[in-house]
Structure 1
C-alpha cells in the first residue's frame, strides 16, 4: 500500500530550491517540492508526501489528524516509514 504521509518542511535546499528537507515522525529526508512551484512551501509548512514528492501543502491540524490515522494503521505506516528511511534524493 502506498500512503500520502504528512511531513514538516525543515529547510529548503539553497542550491536546488526544488528540494526540501522534511521531518516525518523521526525520519528526516530530502523530498522534491517542484510540483508546488505555484505556492512553494517554506520551513514550518506541512506537505503531503508520496514517493518522494510533495503533492500539496496542508495545515498542521490536517497533518496531525492524518498522522494519528496513519499510526492507527500499524504495519502499513511502519512500512512507509521504513521506505522513507531508505530513500535518498540528492
Structure 2
C-alpha cells in the first residue's frame, strides 16, 4: 500500500518549473520534495506528497482532516 501525506511548504528553490523543489514540513520534520507537478504551489500551501513528489495542492482544512485520520490509524 502506498500513502500520500499532506505537508506544509516552508521554502521554495528554483525557477525552472521542472526543477523546482520545496522544503515541506511534516509535523516539524522537514523534507525536500519536487514541486514539478505543482508549479503553482507557494510557501504556506499544503501539498500531498508521495515518494518525494508533491502531487497536488490542498487547503489547510483538508490537510488537517487527513492528518487526523492518519493519526487515528497509526
TM over 0.5: yes
Runs of 4+ in 1 over 3 A off after TM superposition: 14-17
Corresponding residue of 2:26: 24
Gapped regions of structure 2 (runs ≥ 5): none
Corresponding residue of 1:85: none
After the TM superposition, which residues 1-90 of structure 1 pair with which residues of structure 2 at under 5 Å, given as runs? 1-14=1-14, 18-37=20-39, 40-74=40-74
RMSD value, Cα: 1.5
**What TM-score, normalized by structure 2, do the two folds share?**
0.88
Which structure shows the higher helix fraction? 1
> Paired residues, what number?
72
